[in-house]
Amino acid sequence: MAGEKNKEKLILDSAIALFTSKGYQATRMEDVAKGAGISKGLSYFYFKNKEDLFMALTKKAFDQLKDEFREVYRTKSKSGLDLLADLVLRISAFAKNNQILYDSIIGFLDLMKKYNTPEGRASINPLILESVHFQKLLEIHHDPAKIGIALVSQGIKDGSIRPQLQPEITFYTIWSMIIGFEKMRGPIEYEEREVKLTSENWEPGFIKLMQDMLKGTIQASKPTTVQTSLF
C-alpha cells in the first residue's frame, strides 16, 4: 500500500510540474509517466486517463486548501475576525505558491456551474464524470467553506463580527471576494496600467475593508450642503 501511494504521489508531482510548465493541453500521459520515472502502462494502472489524473490533482488541491483552513481554525487566542484576516493571507499565499492547484480549484468551481443543470452536465467531458476522483470532489468540495463558516460564527460569538450577519452568506461572500482579489492580481500588476495600485498595498487594504464590513464600521456620510446663489 505504501508503495502504491508513493507511485501515486510521483505521478501527481510529475503532473503538477508538467501542467505548470507546459500546460494541461500540451501534456501527455507518457510525459507524466516519464517525469515520474515509471512506464506509461503503469501510470494507467493508477489513473485511467488524463482527465482522471487532473481530477485527482484537483482533489489534492482541495485537501491542501482545507489544511490551510484548518491551520487557521486551530489558532488560539484570536478573534474570529482576526482569523478571517489570517485566512485571506494564507489563501493568497497558497494561490501564489501552488498556482496549478489553485487554478484547478477555480476550474472545478466553474465546472460545478455546468454540473448543476442538465444542459450543462451534458456538455462536460464524460471522462471527467466517470472519474472516481470527480465523485469524491462532489462530496468534499464544500469542506473548506464549512471551516470558513465556523470562523464567521466564532467572530459573531466573540463580538468581533456584528451579530446581524448570517454566517453562511457572509463566508461565501468573503470567499467570492478573495477569488476576485486573486483574479485581479494580473491587471493590477501589469506595468502599463493607469491605476495607481500595487499588490503590496492592495492586500492590506483589502483586508481592512473586509474587516470594516464585518465589524459594521463602514458608514456613509452625507455630503455637506453648501448654500449658493444662482444669481
Alpha helices for the chain (secondary structure H): 2-21, 29-36, 40-46, 50-73, 80-97, 99-115, 118-122, 126-129, 132-140, 143-158, 167-183, 185-189, 199-215
Give the CATH number for residue 72: 1.10.357.10
Q: What's the rounded Cα separation, in Å, for the pair 148 and 117? A: 27
Residue 193, domain member (yes or no): yes
Give the CATH number for residue 16: 1.10.10.60
| Residues 3 and 28 both lie in one domain | yes
| Residues 83 and 172 both lie in one domain | yes
Does the pLDDT of residue 230 top 50, yes or no?
no
Residue 155, domain member (yes or no): yes
Between helix 29-36 and helix 2-21 the angle, nearest 10°, is: 120
Cα dihedral sign, 76-77-81-85 = negative
Q: What is the pLDDT of residues 147-182, one digit of tens each?
A: 999 999 999 999 999 999 999 999 999 999 999 999
Q: What is the pLDDT of residues 57-90, one digit of tens each?
A: 999 999 999 999 999 999 999 999 999 999 999 9
Q: What's the rounded Cα separation, in Å, for the pair 132 and 33? A: 20
Does the pLDDT of residue 19 top 60, yes or no?
yes
pTM value surpassing 0.75: yes
| Residues 34 and 141 both lie in one domain | no
Residue 230, domain member (yes or no): no
| Residues 181 and 201 both lie in one domain | yes
Q: What's the rounded Cα separation, in Å, for the pair 32 and 39? A: 10
Q: At 135, which amino acid appears?
A: Q
CA distances from 177 to 13, 76, 153, 173, 222 (A): 30, 25, 18, 6, 27
Averaged over 203-223, what is the pLDDT?
Answer: 81
| Residues 92 and 138 both lie in one domain | yes
| Residues 39 and 122 both lie in one domain | no
| Residues 100 and 173 both lie in one domain | yes
Residue 224, domain member (yes or no): no
State the residue range of the domain holding 197.
50-215
String of DSSP letters for 16-52: HHHHHHT-TTT--HHHHHHHHTS-HHHHHHH-SSHHH
| Residues 8 and 98 both lie in one domain | no
| Residues 40 and 74 both lie in one domain | no
For residue 46, what are the contacts with CB-CB under 8 A and spacing of at least 6?
A: 4, 7, 8, 11
| Residues 61 and 168 both lie in one domain | yes
| Residues 106 and 196 both lie in one domain | yes
Residue 107, domain member (yes or no): yes
Residue 99, domain member (yes or no): yes
Q: What's the rounded Cα separation, in Å, for the pair 156 and 119? A: 40
pLDDT at res. 137: 98
Residue 226, domain member (yes or no): no
Does the pLDDT of residue 189 top 80, yes or no?
no
| Residues 59 and 171 both lie in one domain | yes
Residue 220, domain member (yes or no): no
pLDDT at res. 190: 76
3-state class (DSSP) for residue 171? helix
Work out the pLDDT band at 26, boundaries 50, 70, 90: very high
The domain total for the chain is: 2
